[in-house]
Each structure stands twice: as C-alpha cells, then as structure tokens.
Amino acid sequence: MQHLPIVCAGEYDDDKPLAVFAVVADAERYATLYNLERGYGLEDGDRARVEHLPAYPAGDPGMSGHEITIRGAHWSCTCGRADWGGSEQDSREQAARHIAHWIPAAEQVALPA
Ligand SMILES: [Zn+2]
C-alpha cells in the first residue's frame, strides 16, 4: 500500500475531493493555486487542502492495508480500525476477526506477540 495525495475543498472529512496526484508537491501547488484563484485565505472554510488516501496496485483489493498492532487489551490496524478488547486475549480475537474479512486465512500470518 502507498498513500497518494489528494486535494479536497472544505472543512470537513466528507468534503469534496478535487483531484488525485502522484506527488505531494504537485498537490500542494494545486491547492495553493486553487485558493489563490478564489481569494481564499487561511480562515476560509471552503479552501482547498491536501489529504492522503490509501492507494493499492492492481490485484490488491485492500489487503496490504492491514497490519495489526496489539498493546495489552488494545489493538489497532494500519487501516485505522482500533478497539479495546477488555483483555489481551479478547483484543487478539477482535483483531483476528477484523483481518479475516480482508485477508484469506491461507495468507494470514500470526498476529504479532
Ligand atoms: Zn485493518
């Protein structure tokens, strides 16, 4: 998995994505020009900004975006999912259930100790 820069306009997470870029510098330049063109300053809610989206190569329907970390009763995944299991055992079971939806059992590696 890699992350590609995108430019979004607006203040909120679900605001409109405008474009996807291969290189962060281009995305930042695009956002700057977009804001300049419209006269948007730092305080404008509609201004464009750079965010990052996971990007997967052909043949990878999101599988490579899941790496689990377990810290006691808490687990987290590189996809952003995280939860509190109550105990380390329950935390491991929750993490295993999460990853089972993404990665075929035959390809799963053991959860980290
Ligand atoms: Zn995940």
- What is the Å distance from ligand 1's center to 72 Cα? 18
pLDDT of amino acid 14: 65
Asked whether residue 27 is assigned to any structural domain, the reply reads: yes
> Residues of the chain whose pLDDT is less than 70?
13-14, 108-110, 112-113
- What is the Å distance from ligand 1's center to 68 Cα? 7
Computed from CA positions of residues 101, 105, 107, 111, in that sequence, does the dihedral angle turn out positive or negative? positive
Distance between CA atoms of 70 and 83, rounded to whole angstroms?
10
- What is the Å distance from ligand 1's center to 11 Cα? 26
Domain that holds residue 43: 2-55
> Could you tell me if 1 and 64 are in contact, meaning their C-beta atoms sit under 8 angstroms apart?
yes
Is residue 33 domain-shared with residue 9, that is, in the same domain?
A: yes
Is residue 72 domain-shared with residue 94, that is, in the same domain?
A: yes
Is residue 6 domain-shared with residue 41, that is, in the same domain?
A: yes
- What is the Å distance from ligand 1's center to 57 Cα? 17
Query: Any idea which residue has 């909120």 for tokens?
Result: 12
Asked whether residue 15 is assigned to any structural domain, the reply reads: yes
pLDDT of amino acid 2: 86
59 Cβ neighbours under 8 A, 6+ residues apart = none
Structure tokens at 80: 């952003």
Is residue 49 domain-shared with residue 81, that is, in the same domain?
A: no
Could you say which of 32, 55, 78 is where a domain stops?
Answer: 55
Asked whether residue 33 is assigned to any structural domain, the reply reads: yes
Is residue 8 domain-shared with residue 36, that is, in the same domain?
A: yes
- What is the Å distance from ligand 1's center to 111 Cα? 13
Closest CA to 2 of 19, 24, 34, 18: 24
Is residue 71 domain-shared with residue 94, that is, in the same domain?
A: yes
- What is the Å distance from ligand 1's center to 13 Cα? 19
pLDDT of amino acid 65: 87
pTM attached to this predicted model: 0.67
Q: What is the CB-side half-sphere exposure of residue 59 using CA atoms within 13 A?
A: 0
Is residue 42 domain-shared with residue 68, that is, in the same domain?
A: no
pLDDT of amino acid 24: 96
Asked whether residue 112 is assigned to any structural domain, the reply reads: no
Could you say which of 34, 55, 76 is where a domain stops?
Answer: 55
pLDDT of amino acid 113: 61
Domain total for the chain?
Answer: 2
- What is the Å distance from ligand 1's center to 36 Cα? 38
- What is the Å distance from ligand 1's center to 67 Cα? 6
pLDDT of amino acid 91: 95
